[in-house]
């Protein structure tokens, strides 16, 4: 590329999509901290539980570590410590599939299921506060989420 065609603004921090995504992710995680503290879990554990709650509600049958990793876009090396901590907290159980020892089956405990109701109250209160404080409509948030979903599909 010729030196006279280089866009100097391309390296400015405020022009970087990666920075905006990083900063937004940190801000969202920070916003969730009071709820997570109350629930006694970390944000990555919350992500695991959200999938487990979906599976519990829908009757999903393939509740394996592998399926969870695909859903969360995480490898088993990242998931295993999260799952061990959630199991030690009494929120889920892990068990080898008797038909195929390579598969590890996941199941929410009663405590894990009950935590969903508490999280649901927090999230709904947070949505209302976001609407009131920031003027962010649910429609604009949905548009952003769908745009990011499409972007993620393209770069993955």
**Residue 2 pLDDT more than 90?**
no
- Which residue is associated with the tokens 């080898």? 96
Distance CA 156, CA 146 (A): 15
Distance CA 72, CA 14 (A): 28
> Which domains are seen in the chain, by residue range?
16-155 (1.10.10.10)
- Which residue is associated with the tokens 């299921």? 113
pLDDT in tens, 120-140: 999 888 777 766 667 778 888
Three-state secondary-structure class, residue 96: strand
Measured CA distances, 120 to 49, 53, 113, 115 (Å): 12, 11, 12, 9
Q: Which residues contact 93 (CB under 8 A, 6 or more apart)?
A: 87, 106, 107, 109
Q: Which letter, b or e, does each residue of 19-41 get, where b requires 16 or more Cβ atoms within 10 Å of its Cβ?
A: eeeeeeeeeeeeebeebbeebeb
pTM equals: 0.87
pLDDT in tens, 11-69: 999 999 999 999 999 999 998 999 999 999 999 999 999 999 999 999 988 999 999 99
Q: In the prediction, which pLDDT does 138 show?
A: 82
């Amino acid at each position: 590329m010729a030196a006279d065609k280089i866009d100097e603004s391309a390296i400015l921090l405020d022009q970087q999509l990666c920075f905006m995504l990083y900063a937004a992710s940190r801000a969202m995680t920070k916003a969730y901290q009071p709820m997570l503290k109350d629930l006694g879990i970390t944000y990555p554990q919350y992500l695991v539980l959200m999938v487990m709650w979906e599976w519990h509600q829908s009757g999903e049958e393939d509740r394996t570590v592998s399926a969870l990793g695909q859903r969360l876009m995480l490898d088993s090396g990242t998931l295993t410590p999260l799952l061990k901590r959630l199991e030690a907290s009494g929120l889920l159980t892990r068990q080898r599939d008797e038909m195929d020892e390579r598969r590890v089956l996941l199941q929410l405990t009663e405590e894990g299921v009950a935590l969903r109701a508490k999280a649901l109250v927090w999230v709904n209160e947070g949505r209302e506060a976001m609407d009131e404080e920031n003027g962010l409509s649910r429609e604009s948030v949905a548009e952003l989420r769908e745009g990011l979903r499409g972007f993620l599909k393209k770069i993955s």
